[in-house]
Amino acid sequence: MQMDFIVDKQAKTVSIVKDFAAGLDLVWDAYTRAELLDQWWAPKPWMSRTKVLDFRVGGRRFYAMVSPEGDERWAIQKYTSITPKTNFKLFNAFADEHENPELPGSEWDLNFSEQDGTTKVSVSIHNESLERMERMIEMGFKEGTMMQLKNLEELLKSLQ
């Protein structure tokens, strides 16, 4: 199903909206249980390896993205608010392998809703600086994902 990717540069927010052909319970689990998250979170050929996942307010997910060469990029997602099967919020920060965060991080707001067996998930990511997001990409995804550039006309259309 179609994914919407909306960049609001003024608000320094990226929103990703997606419908899934599955019920809310299943989708909620896929976002909140380590053994499920690890199966889809990392874009192949990267792997997601969750070391800790304590899904409660004040709890955290501490995980690594592992490259095919075995390089690890650690991150902490601290849960700041949870409304079961409706919404949760987290604070995301890069970290080292000893769980020392690198600030600033980004604030994530995830919304879930189901209609006729389809579950809509809307993830909104607010960054203090969009340049930080640029770094996020440099930190491990550059290889293999070099994209063809859209032509300028298309870009300008999206900026207007």
Partner 1 sequence: MRRDIFQAIADPTRRAIIALIAVQAMTPNALAARFETSRQAISKHLRILAECELITQEQKGREIYYVLEIEKMKEIDEWLEQYRKIWETRYSQLDELLSTMRKQEKEK
Where does this chain bind partner 1 (CB under 8 A)?
1, 3, 5, 7, 9-10, 12, 14, 16, 18, 20-22, 26-27, 30, 36, 39-44, 129-131, 133-134, 136-137, 141-142, 145-147, 149-150, 152, 155-156, 159-160
Beta carbon nearer to partner 1, 51 or 135: 135
CB of 58 to partner 1, least distance (A): 26
Q: Which DSSP letter does residue 146 get?
A: P
Calpha distance 31→34 (Å, rounded): 8
CB of 87 to partner 1, least distance (A): 18
CB of 28 to partner 1, least distance (A): 11
**Beta strand extents in the chain (DSSP E only):** 3-8, 13-20, 47-53, 60-66, 72-83, 87-95, 101-115, 118-127
Beta carbon nearer to partner 1, 99 or 135: 135
Q: How far apart, in Å, are the Cα atoms of 59 and each of 32, 41, 63, 97, 125? A: 12, 19, 13, 18, 19
Calpha distance 1→39 (Å, rounded): 19
Beta carbon nearer to partner 1, 22 or 93: 22
Q: Which DSSP letter does residue 127 get?
A: E
CB of 7 to partner 1, least distance (A): 6
Beta carbon nearer to partner 1, 21 or 103: 21
CB of 159 to partner 1, least distance (A): 5
Cβ atoms of 43 and 141 closer than 8 Å: yes
